[in-house]
Structure 1
């Protein structure tokens, strides 16, 4: 509106400059007033130009602010979206952590259950080992006196025979032990027995040496003597790898002397103590 007023005033000024009026010709005061009015019009024109420049500057500033606003608004939207994504990720992580916590708790319970089972197995193993010794001690019971008498007679007969014990080099005990086992495989029982007796007397691997003495007697079908050596071996140690074989052969020795209660009892002990062994599988077949 101000812009149009300024143009109109300018037109009047320009017209007045071309066509001086009668008042201008007659009065100098009127000319001065007209000059003053022209100056005022020029000032208004200058002011209008300044306002236009300020308006243009304001428009440019407004455009800049609008661009900045849109940029910041876009950033805000992006941040909001990222925040929503992060919130979802956090929720997912919370869910995974809860699942892991549940899994850990389940594993703890399983470990506790396994610990309990291990304790039960340990207790059962100790009881079984004790039952092995008890079963072997039954040989001294009255129902097996006849068998003991037979064994005693054999021992008395052997003790009456003068025997000279062979001597071996203690520094070669390991080699002798291996050699004696080879003698057993070759059925050279006399040579094997001499070495095993010497090793047992010299406390070299005495539990296993005693076990092999029982094996020699078992292979020679001297079941009473075999049981005696098996019993002595278990008394020295019940943790050898040969224990499943010892229990199986002890059972078979009792079968050989017609002692079926002890035969069945040792089969049960073998299956309960060493269920995964091949001897336990044989015992299951024999039990059938």
Structure 2
């Protein structure tokens, strides 16, 4: 994000915070091996994301293979034990059905154990389908049904969004607030929640964007001090420490009796 765009992005928030200083330069880290996404192009960010996804997938496959091989050994051992017990039972049943070597109950227990293993662990065939994107765990199948949000009123979507946000179900909450914002229902609050969702999921530049939009729509909201505090933290996390410092000072000066001011003081000392 260049300096000119970032300045436009923060302009409404700068109007609110009278002590804001000039926009500092954005630091670039154009090194794909550094692990940082600052200053990278969209293509470079995709490369880093793909590298991480591939590494995670490899670890998962290795863990699954190790787990399956171990379970296969357990099942084979149990099957051998069952075969031996059956042979012993057949030999003894011809002479005395109440012979001490009648292992009917033990056979039942071992059979139930194998059934449980087969029911609760992923087979090699299922793992292959999963890696091909075809396998869906039975516990998740009901979740694949997409809810038609367009049939609900904006008021209901907003109230559902708030409840989902409180439960930290950010993805579902975001869907609802995006619709309410698009339809013009409580746009300031909708953008505030979208900013909070971006903030708590560590998408700090998105958070700055939504907070700026929310403050531009209504800067007298009860949550404005929290909005400013989280904007400051997002700026700090994005590398704009000068702007973050100015926001912290503004919060301390204007919201001295609130928790946000106390947090701002702690943050400011560490900058």
TM score, norm. by length of structure 2: 0.47
TM score, norm. by length of structure 1: 0.45
Compare CA radii of gyration and give the structure with the larger one. Answer: 1
> Whose relative contact order is higher, 1 or 2, with alpha carbons under 8 Å and at least 6 apart?
2
